[in-house]
Each structure stands twice: as C-alpha cells, then as structure tokens.
C-alpha cells in the first residue's frame, strides 16, 4: 500500500483580480499559509498560467515550479476542464459555452472545437514539460440533452454520440500517451461521461486506451444518488486523480435529483465545504488507500453557504486528518509462529 499525497487544492474557484488571488506567487503563498503543500492549476487562467508558453518552453515551466517551490508548494496537475468541455458541445449549449473559448472562435462551433482540441494538445506538451503524470479535464457532451428518454430516443442516437466523442478524443489521448500523461475525466453531470456506465461506453470506443482514466469526485455521485464507495471497487484501476469535495442530498417531497430548477441553496442536492456535507470520507480514504491510490488528495471548494477562504483553511486540515499513513507491518506480526512449509503441511495433516 501507498500513502496518499496532500493536502492540495484546485485554484479555479479562488483566482480573481484581487490580491492575493491574482498572481501565482501570491496565491501560492496564501495557500501555503493555509496548510497546503500542492496546487492544481487551471490552465485557462492567464492571471496564473500561460498554457501556450508552457507547451513551448521548458524554461517557463521550470520558472512556474520555482515560484511554487519557493512557497513550499508542488504543482500536482494542470486542468483543462473548460477546454475539454468544448471538445464536444451539443448545439443547444453553443451560446452558453461560447464564453469558455477564445474570442476569435466564438459563434463558430467547428472553429471552437478545433481550438479546444489544440488546447488539449498544448496541455499534453505542457504537462510533459512540467514533469506531470496526470491531467484533469471534462469529456464534453453531445448526448446530454437526451439524458431522460422522453420523447423516446431514436435508435442509435446515443451510440452515434459516443462514437463521435471517441473519434474526437482518440488523437488527444494518443498525444497524452506520447507525453506520458494520463487524461483524467471528471465524471460529472452535464458531461457525457457522468457515471460508470457512460465511462465504460466511452472506454470501449477508445479501445481501452491506457490514458483514458478517471478524476474521482464523490460529490457528483452523491447528487446522483450513486454508490460512490462501490464505484471505487469497480474502477480503482482507472482512478488516477481525486477531488475531495463534499455534498449533501436531503430527500424532499417537492424535488429530486433534478433540483426543480432551483438555485444551489434551495436544491435537495447541493455542494458543501468539507465536513459540512454527508459524504463518508473515512470510507473513501480507506478504500482508495487499500487500492494503492498514491496520487494527490485535491480539495475542490464549492459551497453555496460558506466563504471560500474559510472553506480552504478548513479543507487543508480536513484532508490532513483523513490521509492514512500506511502501515509497514501487520498488526498481528507479534503472534507470528515462524512456521515453514513443512510445518504448514503438518498442521493441515498433509503427508
């Protein structure tokens, strides 16, 4: 068994135009003071990181690592959640997602897709230049508007969507393979890869690509009422990243998992700061540790009630308290009788 690394934190929800969250050195210093030893960088945020430059310049990547190292912080992974989303967008979401893209490709879905794919290729090279082994992203979605089969879905609709999704992602996965980096899809509602079955459907179509892996975030499973501990048992070999994010689902006579179009505060299922929700993190950390997960435990703060700075400070200690330093010996070694094969045969009555 291996001991998990952490605590680390995803910076996407903290970056802003106001100090100390507006530059990489200052946000790293704040996170170090809050108790973190690792950060996950959103690759799209130019206030913190230049993806194109990182893909071209190892010297720039060394500078980034040097800035973090000066604060006692390690870079855990890059994220392309926004760019990965744009690899596959159903037309119903064209306008809503256009803001994620570069201005020059907005309003042009085909150009936006090509831009997103190029961003992913740059992310593969940047991750390699940074010496990283894992990368966080979304799959995007073509079939999501048809999640509930009414009206009845035409035969082959979902299969066609997943065939196309795999076609777009296969060259990206190959580029990441050449870079020696895993693509870890966050299994997430709104993405075509939103549960175990849909991940399997995708995996089959990319021929079980070794770089197609999972970013495990139990909060999205809690809100779907999916067995998040059982998920680890089924997919632990593909889980290469871990977002530590809490959530709660309170059964209601008025709404269910779809939320009744309500804002986050008024939904039956909502994200909470660590320790304020209902997720069994003791069970999760135990399961991941038992299955030799040796990656980072990365806090992703999302809460409809608590201030993010409080959530971040509390989250560092929460993760530290849950990481299991693995044992190097069995608890009952003191009772070892020192038997050998001959003794074993005698004990079993085998002549």
**Mean pLDDT in each 10-residue stretch from start to end of the chain (351 residues)?**
95 97 98 98 98 98 98 98 98 97 98 98 98 98 96 97 98 98 98 98 98 98 98 98 98 95 96 98 98 97 97 98 88 71 88 82
Q: 47 CB contacts (<8 Å, ≥6 apart)?
A: 15, 17, 22, 23
Rounded to whole angstroms, how far apart are CA atoms 126 and 128?
5
Q: What integer pLDDT is reported at residue 41 of this predicted model?
A: 98
Q: Give 25's DSSP letter.
A: H
**CATH 1.20.58.110 for domain 5-347:** no
The structure's pTM equals 0.95
Q: Tally Cβ neighbours within 10 Å of residue 75.
A: 22
**326, 289 in Cβ contact below 8 A?**
yes
Structure tokens at 264: 């986050």
Give the largest Cα separation in the chain, rounded.
Answer: 81
Q: What integer pLDDT is reported at residue 334 of this predicted model?
A: 62
| SS3 state of residue 296 | strand
Q: What integer pLDDT is reported at residue 248 of this predicted model?
A: 98
Structure tokens at 346: 């005698």
**88, 55 in Cβ contact below 8 A?**
no
Q: What integer pLDDT is reported at residue 335 of this predicted model?
A: 62
Nearest residue to 179 (alpha-carbon basis) of 112, 132, 235, 219: 132
Rounded to whole angstroms, how far apart are CA atoms 187 and 214?
7
Q: What integer pLDDT is reported at residue 338 of this predicted model?
A: 75
**7, 38 in Cβ contact below 8 A?**
yes
Structure tokens at 204: 């089959």
Q: What integer pLDDT is reported at residue 332 of this predicted model?
A: 66
Structure tokens at 49: 């990181």
Structure tokens at 175: 């580029």
H-state helical runs in the chain: 24-34, 51-56, 58-69, 81-85, 94-98, 109-129, 157-179, 196-205, 218-222, 228-235, 281-290, 308-322, 341-347
**198, 144 in Cβ contact below 8 A?**
no
Q: Tally Cβ neighbours within 10 Å of residue 72.
A: 13
How many CA atoms lie within 13 Å of 60's alpha carbon, on the beta-carbon side?
A: 14
The DSSP bridge partners found for residue 120 are none
| SS3 state of residue 151 | coil
């Amino acid at each position: 068994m291996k001991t998990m690394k952490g605590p680390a934190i995803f910076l996407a929800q903290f970056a802003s135009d106001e100090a100390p969250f507006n530059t990489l050195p200052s946000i790293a210093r704040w996170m170090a003071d809050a108790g973190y030893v690792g950060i996950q960088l959103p690759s799209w945020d130019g206030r913190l990181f230049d993806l194109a430059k990182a893909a071209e310049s190892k010297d720039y990547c060394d500078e980034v690592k040097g800035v973090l190292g000066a604060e006692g912080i390690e870079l855990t992974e890059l994220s392309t959640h926004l760019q990965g989303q744009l690899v596959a967008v159903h037309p119903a979401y064209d306008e809503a997602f256009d803001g994620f893209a570069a201005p020059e490709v907005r309003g042009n879905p085909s150009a936006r897709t090509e831009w997103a794919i190029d961003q992913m290729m740059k992310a593969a090279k940047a991750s390699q230049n940074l010496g990283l082994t894992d990368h966080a992203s979304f799959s995007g979605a073509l079939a999501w508007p048809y999640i509930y089969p009414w009206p009845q879905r035409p035969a082959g609709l979902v299969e066609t969507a997943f065939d196309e999704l795999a076609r777009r992602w296969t060259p990206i996965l190959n580029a990441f393979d050449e870079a020696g980096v895993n693509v870890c899809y966050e299994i997430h509602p709104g993405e075509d890869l939103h549960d175990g079955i849909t991940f399997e459907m995708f995996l089959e179509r990319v021929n079980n690509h070794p770089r197609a892996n999972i970013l495990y975030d139990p909060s999205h499973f809690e809100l779907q009422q999916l067995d998040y501990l059982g998920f680890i048992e089924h997919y632990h070999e593909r889980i290469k990243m871990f977002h530590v994010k809490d959530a709660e689902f309170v059964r209601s006579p008025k709404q269910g998992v779809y939320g009744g179009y309500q804002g986050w505060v008024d939904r039956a299922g909502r994200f909470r700061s660590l320790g304020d929700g209902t997720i069994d993190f003791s069970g999760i950390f135990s399961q991941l540790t038992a299955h030799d997960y040796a990656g980072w435990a990365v806090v992703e703060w999302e809460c409809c009630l608590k201030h993010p700075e409080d959530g971040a400070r509390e989250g560092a200690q929460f993760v530290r308290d849950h990481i299991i330093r693995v044992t190097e010996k069995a608890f009952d070694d003191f009772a070892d009788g020192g038997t050998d094969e001959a003794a074993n045969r005698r004990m079993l009555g085998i002549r």
